[in-house]
Structures are given as structure tokens and as C-alpha cells.
Amino acid sequence: MKSPSVVGILGGMGPAAGADFARLFVQACAAHLQALGLPVSDQSFPEHWLAQVPVPDRTAALDAPHAGRAGAHQPLDPMLQALGRLAALGATTVAVACNTAHAWHGLLQQRFPQIEVLHVAHEVAHDLRAQGVREVGLLATAGTYRAGLYDGVLRDAGIACHLPTEAERERLMHGIYHGVKVNDLALARDCFEPVARALAERHGLSTLILGCTEIPLALPAVPGHPRLRCVDPAWVLARALARRAYAGFREERPMLAA
């Protein structure tokens, strides 16, 4: 049986989200194998490497004077170094475990044409469109809003995207930086929950994208809103990475069945 492909996870942004992405990827692989009726064992998982490297703050770099110029190289350099190492380890596909870092996706992909760097917003838009979703709210970092990471991609997929107010965005940032990133999940939840509720109620939404890997760590769902679906882009991305890892593996199935 042909082995699954080696894949990589570019993490450290923050490290808790990176470790959680590894967990989601393992879960996505198990689900993939089970859906194909294949046995799950330690040896049936793809070789994968999680790089947790210190990367300067992404939102701060996007906020720097002449964004895309002066500050923007700061997160890019360590991401390129880690990506090069993942490529050297044999990774054919890499997922970046940070939504905001996707502001540098184009440059990462351009420098490493030999590997596929997944784009989280493309994967989310693709999934939502397949499910017939037409309207969503987006909770994210200031950097993700500023870079417009989801807006255009969702629009191209025919999905309207509603954003929080400026004050609500500041509250989200507070919960991410003073909550999840310093391991105070209660404070984070107190920041995220009212914003999620207000955004959903203001536009009558049934779907929210939790577009920062740190948000679902504190708020996987909105209490009291059982019908409000919270999409975790990390889970969507983890499933996409699992599909890539098993792509060659899957092709072999007809021969095995024959």
C-alpha cells in the first residue's frame, strides 16, 4: 500500500493554536480513514511535522506604517525559514495554523512553488458554498479584517460577510491577546461571547466564522444560541490537509479492492 504523503503544519502563532491544530489534524485523519472504511492505527496516519516557531505579531506588522512594506517582512522571514525546513522534511502540503498569517500566503506560496500552501479562507468558502450558506458573520483579529482575508474570497463564492463594529473588534482583540494568548480562557470568553451574540442578532445570522485560531479555544459555540453554527476554520483546514495527505493513498483503493 502506498504511504500517505508527508505534510507540514506551520504553527507557533500562537503555540496553543498550533498544538490544537495538530490535534484537529489527527482527528481529521481518523475521520477520513473511518469514512473510507479503512482501519485506524498509529501506523495509518501520515507522517506530519508541526513547526512551532516564534513569529513576530502578525496584526502589529499589518498595522505598521506602510503596511505591506516596513513591518511586513518581520513575520515573513521566520515563516519562510520554517516553510523551507518543512519542505526539506519532505512535506508536500503545508497548512498555516494562523488566520492572520494568511496575509503573507501569496509570498509563501510564491517562494515555495514545489509545495502546496493551503489557504484557509479558500477552504472555508469552498465548504460553505457546498453547504448552500449565503450569509455569515466573521469574528477575527484586526489584522485579518485589515488584510480583508475572508471578504473577497467569500464574495467570490457568493457569500455575504458581516463584520463587527470597531468597538466589538477591539473587544475581540482584547480577548485574544489578554485572554487566550496568556491562558486566561474565562476572560477571553467574556470578550468573545457578547460580540458573537450581537453580530448574529444584528443581522439574523445562522453561521459565524471564528476566523482566528485562538477564538474557538475559548468559545467553541455560543451558549443560548443552539442554532447558531460556529465554523472553526482550523477544523476546515485540518480536514483539507488530511485529504491532501491521503490523496495518493486513496487513489490506490481500486487496486486494493480488485
From the CB of 243, what's the least distance to a second copy, in Å?
A: 17
Residue 60 vs 70, nearer CB to a second copy: 60
Please choose, from the candidates 66, 65, 72, the residue with its C-alpha nearest in 3D space to the C-alpha of residue 103. 72
Q: Does 67 bind a second copy (CB under 8 A)?
A: no
Q: Binding of a second copy at residue 15 (CB under 8 A)?
A: yes
HEC-encoded secondary structure of the chain = CCCCCCEEEEECCCHHHHHHHHHHHHHHHHHHHHHCCCCCCHHHCCCEEEEECCCCCHHHHHHCCCCCCCCCHHHHHHHHHHHHHHHHCCCCEEEECCCHHHHHHHHHHHHCCCCEECCHHHHHHHHHHHCCCCEEEEECCHHHHHHCCCHHHHHHCCCEEECCCHHHHHHHHHHHHHCHHHCCHHHHHHHHHHHHHHHHHHHCCCEEEECCCCHHHHCCCCCCCCCCEEECHHHHHHHHHHHHHCHHHHHCHHHHHC
Please tell me whether residue 64 binds a second copy under the rule CB under 8 A: no
Minimum distance from residue 242 beta carbon to a second copy (Å): 11
Task: Give least dist CB 47 to a second copy, A.
Answer: 5
Q: Is 87 in the site for a second copy (CB under 8 A)?
A: no
- What per-residue string of b and e applies to 231-256 under the rule 16 or more CB within 10 Å gives b? bbbbbbbbbbbbebbbeebeeeeeee
Please list every residue from 155 through 184 that binds a second copy, using CB under 8 A: 181-183
85 forms part of the interface with a second copy (CB under 8 A): yes
Give the helix/strand (H/E) hosting 210: strand 207-210
Site for a second copy in 97-136 (CB under 8 A): none
**Of the listed pieces 19-27, 115-123, 141-149, 229-237, which binds a second copy according to CB under 8 A?**
19-27
Binding mask 29-48 for a second copy (x = CB under 8 A): xx---x-----xxxxxx-xx
> Interface with a second copy includes 232 (CB under 8 A)?
no
Residue selected from 5, 10, 28, 52 as contacting a second copy according to rule CB under 8 A: 52
18 binds a second copy, rule: CB under 8 A:
yes
Q: Residue 20, interface with a second copy (CB under 8 A)?
A: yes
CB of 216 to a second copy, least distance (A): 14
What's the closest the beta carbon of residue 144 comes to a second copy, in angstroms? Answer: 15
Q: Quick one: which of 38, 67, 80, 89 contacts a second copy (CB under 8 A)?
A: 89
Give the one residue of 56, 64, 87, 243 binding a second copy; rule: CB under 8 A.
Answer: 56
Give the Å distances, CA to CA, from 18 to 10, 229, 258.
8, 23, 40
- Judged by the rule CB under 8 A, the positions of this chain that interact with a second copy are 3, 12-16, 18-20, 22-23, 25-27, 29-30, 34, 40-45, 47-57, 85, 89, 181-183
